[in-house]
Amino acid sequence: MKQSTSTVWTFLPVLLATNTMAFADSWTCQKGDLTRQVLIVYPEKPALLPCEVFYSKPTENVVPRALWQAANNEGYCERKAAEFVVKLESWGWRCGVDPQQASSSGPATQN
C-alpha cells in the first residue's frame, strides 16, 4: 500500500528524531556551510523490506523527499543510497556515515 506524500512529510520529522526508528544507513554530506543528508528507513525493522531512501537539505529548510523505495527487491535502497552518496562526492561534497547510525545499525560503509 502506497502512503500519500503528505503523510510521509507529516511523520518524517518524528521518524528522524526517534532513536528507536530503524535506520540502516545514514550519511551526512558537507560543502561549505551547506549540509545534505541521505538516509534509508526501514519501517518494519528488522525486516529489510519495505525500505525508502530520503534526501534532505537541513540547513536550507527544504522538506526531505523520498528518492527511492522498494517493497520486493532487497538491497535496492542500500545500493541506490550508496550510489547517490558517491554522486554527491563527485560534485565536491564531503560525505560520511553518521556515527550514531554506524554503531547501531549494523554494517555500513564509510564514504
How does pLDDT run across 48-88, given as a tens digit for each residue?
A: 999 999 999 998 988 899 999 999 999 999 999 999 999 99
Contacts of 76 (CB under 8 A, 6+ apart): 51, 68, 70
Condensed to tens digits (0 to 9), the pLDDT of residues 24-45 reads: 489 999 999 999 999 999 999 8
- 61 Rama sector, left if φ>0, alpha if ψ -120 to 50, beta otherwise: left
